[in-house]
Structure 1
Amino acid sequence: MSGVALYPRTARPARTTRTAVPAPARPGSQDPESQGPDSHDDVLAELCAALFASLPRSDQRRRGEAYVRGLLGTQGRKSIRNIAALIGGQAAEQSLHHFISSSTWDWIPVRRALAHYLARVSPPHAWVVRPMVIPKAGDNSVGVDRRFCPAVGQVLNAQEAVGVWAASAEHSTPVNWRLHLSDAWLQDGLRRGQASIPDSVRPETLGECTVEAYTGMMRDWGLPLRPLVLDARDMDAPAALLRLRACGVPAMARISHSLRLTVSGPAVPGRGAEALPAHQILGAARDLRRPVMWRDHGPSRVVRTALTAAVRVGLPALRTAAVPGPARRRELLLLGVGENGRRWPAELWLTDMVNVPPAALVRLGKLLDRVDRDFTEISDEVGIRDFAGRSFSGWHRHVTLASAAHAVAALTGRPEEGLRLGYVS
């Protein structure tokens, strides 16, 4: 699946001057068993040289690489103490703690360098936004709050963040993170001060956090334009899509069955101008279903088949002053996906890429599965959720370096001793 042919030229924002990124041989594109014994170290050294070029001091660059190595090689919980035990003991623990929690180095240039490295060696087919819930026992870590987590169907004491992933059919890697902070944290001066939360961090909904995690990255980093894929079932999907559309971003969002939409064309006979639940619209369009095929993202790479149907729709009249009128009025495509003999539709997607074939949209949506798999089998294994510190900056530095460790594991396909991925590209 091409990374640049998924949407028509008209879907690109007119102001962009970005060009396609050349695709040299990917470090992770070979069979793991055919790679030389130094391929893992070669990729790690090359990536760290690119990531830490913005760090002004050589000792910071050395500690950055040591931390990434520790995340890859430490067994069990990837705490600073356990990482230090692997690479140098108590003295290393003190220096790494300072490097992560108290140092002044900026994580944004490191993330930008990671995104550009991946765009060069493994061009993404799409950018995928995925939430991350981090359960916590106490209430001192920055952003910890009691929150309902739809994925597990219960209230947890947890942090919540949003990650932006560079995703292709072969693998995916997080490149940017945004911590979602509740009003309880941002309006409590004492807690805010203890966690060193910057004054620039303001209250926002999960949907606003999701959009800003992506648009903030794309505004300044000079990355190639790709479609954005997100799961918007637990947020205000219309508001998120309208904000993305106003920025000229081709987007595809998984939506809830109850989201109300209006049918734009004659594809669904007998439908008037009233807004209807999305599942009802696609239920009436079941005669439009056609089979599509894609290759599963798991180790078996099995070819799978699904049924799809697409209907052009519009959003009901919204009183959203922040979104320009033309962005509100443009047509959208409602896509249903299901399996023969099962409940129809099993999944519902909404996109402004109205001229892209449904088969290509289905493959694009399946990148959410790719990201979910890689989060479980790589990110969690390199300790993306293991930071135990309290500070806002410490959390951001840890997840930045854990993202770098994830990139090494994903690109090489061969873990360090003690790291079990259970994944073959």
Structure 2
Amino acid sequence: MYTMVEPRPVSRIPRARDRHRDAELRRHREQLLGTLFTSLSRRDQRVRGEHYLRGLLLADGRKSVRNIALSLGRPDEEQRLHHFISGSTWDWAPIRAAHAGFLDQVSPPRAWVLHAVTIPKDGEHTVGVDRFPDPRDGRSVNGQRAFGAWYASTAFSAPVNWKLFMPRHWIDDETLRGRADVPATVGYEPMGQCAADVVLEAARQFSVPPRPVLMDLRTDPDWCSARRLADAGLPVVARISANTPLVVADAVPASSDGRAVSSASVSALSILDSAKSLRRAVDWADPGGSGSVHTSWVAAVRVRRGARQLTLLGEWRPGQETPAQIWVSDLADAGPAELLKLTKLTRKVALDSSLGADRTGARDFVGRSFCGWHRHMTLASAAHTLRLLALRGGS
């Protein structure tokens, strides 16, 4: 077992509050490290797991196996660590469950956040790599696409499960499958199914109570991922595009130009334009850790998409005529203020990803092994939690 030491300014005498914070931080670290590898029956695997996790925190630059071994001062460990990640047979699912269980105790999540990740790669040999248009700007990207299921609260967020999207040609080509050691049980899943299953898989394996799932449907016009989650009993809060067609289920005042809203499908933006008179100011604390309080104007309208009853939520920033963000939710009992504050957890995940996961190797796996990618991502997620605990004093 290793100990991470948080530096303290020598010019300041520790106060009781600081000592309590440091003791709590050490306790959390020991708790996580004490449970993370209990599913590994062999001592050498537990030792390698701790070494790899420590290296993810210590290595500068890309978290390659070589850099991890060098950061530990153990260059001769490179081959053994490579085998531990890419050539061994240990199951990553119990380690992910242990990580989620730890987070459930120290910072119970308010929601799942479904976070899509694009990982640019050179060449064609990294598992799952493909060429595809970037949904943000349409430019061609060579890389991997993955989905992370994040536990998120206002105090802390961390990824607890991952799925790598495997393009159809990787699944259908026996040479590629063999080269990447893709298990026979892995078949092709469309993008929307892959996205939903990263949450569904975790929810079933971790045996946690249902929580809302925050997601982005702007690149999923058919909403197949949201339907899978809703059919499984998980509430959904989803960001949508302004031109998404919806049917108004409530009476809405006439729009600013005097036109009534039709009972036929109209765009979400048109509906919200008609609902501007319903807007109310809502204060919300920035979950990014700055402590600043912001004010948004929000309006909610009951709508339908197919047979589903939903709440359409628009958020306007002060002085704006067009909504900054548009969301829909099937949380029937949640008011506009509650829904708005819930959506801000996506800001928390974006910030924590840049502070933690992106710096502990979530984009750095280089290899052909499908199972190696999952093992690496499992330990990178635990390293993310340890890093953020150190940065935030265990809060």
One of 331, 348, 359 as aligned partner of 2:337: 359
SS of the residue corresponding to residue 66 of structure 2 reads: helix
Q: What TM-score comes out, normalization by structure 1 length?
A: 0.84
Identity %: 43
One of 144, 166, 170 as aligned partner of 1:159: 144
Q: What TM-score comes out, normalization by structure 2 length?
A: 0.90
Judged with a 3 Å threshold, the aligned counterparts in structure 2 of structure 1 residues 295 and 237 are, in CA distance, closer, same or farther, namely farther
- Aligned equivalents of 1:221, 1:31: Cα separation in 2: 37
One of 75, 84, 91 as aligned partner of 1:90: 75
Aligned to 2:8: none
1:412 aligns with 2:393: no
CA contact (8 A) 2:355 2:388 kept: no
- Aligned equivalents of 2:389, 2:137: Cα separation in 1: 30
Written as runs of structure 1 = structure 2, the 5 A alignment for 1:59-98 is: 59-98=44-83
Aligned to 2:84: 99
One of 378, 381, 389 as aligned partner of 2:356: 378
1:181 aligns with 2:171: no
Q: Which runs of 5+ in 2 are unaligned?
A: 1-14, 255-259
One of 275, 300, 312 as aligned partner of 2:302: 312
CA contact (8 A) 1:172 1:410 kept: no
**How far 1:48 sits from its partner (Å)?**
2.1
- Aligned equivalents of 1:275, 1:177: Cα separation in 2: 36
**How far 1:152 sits from its partner (Å)?**
5.2
SS of the residue corresponding to residue 53 of structure 1 reads: coil
- Aligned equivalents of 2:175, 2:163: Cα separation in 1: 22
1:50 aligns with 2:40: no
**How far 1:155 sits from its partner (Å)?**
1.7
Aligned to 1:231: 216
Structure 1 vs Structure 2 CA RMSD: 2.1
Aligned to 1:130: 115
Q: Which runs of 5+ in 1 are unaligned?
A: 1-29, 317-328, 416-423
**How far 1:400 sits from its partner (Å)?**
0.3
Aligned to 1:197: 182
- Aligned equivalents of 2:330, 2:62: Cα separation in 1: 42
Residue by residue, what CA displacement relative to the aligned partner does 1:284-342 show, whole Å, maximum 9, x if unpaired? 111111111111123421100001111111114xxxxxxxxxxxx24110101111222
Residue by residue, what CA displacement relative to the aligned partner does 1:340-394 show, whole Å, maximum 9, x if unpaired? 2224211110100122111111111011111011111111111111111111001
**How far 1:154 sits from its partner (Å)?**
2.1
Written as runs of structure 1 = structure 2, the 5 A alignment for 1:104-115 is: 104-115=89-100
The residue type equivalent to 2:287 in the other structure is H
SS of the residue corresponding to residue 361 of structure 1 reads: helix
- Aligned equivalents of 1:271, 1:343: Cα separation in 2: 18
1:392 aligns with 2:370: yes
For these two proteins, the number of residue pairs brought into alignment is: 376
SS of the residue corresponding to residue 41 of structure 2 reads: coil
**How far 1:414 sits from its partner (Å)?**
5.7
1:141 aligns with 2:126: yes
The residue type equivalent to 2:179 in the other structure is Q
1:218 aligns with 2:196: no
CA contact (8 A) 1:32 1:412 kept: no
**How far 1:46 sits from its partner (Å)?**
2.3
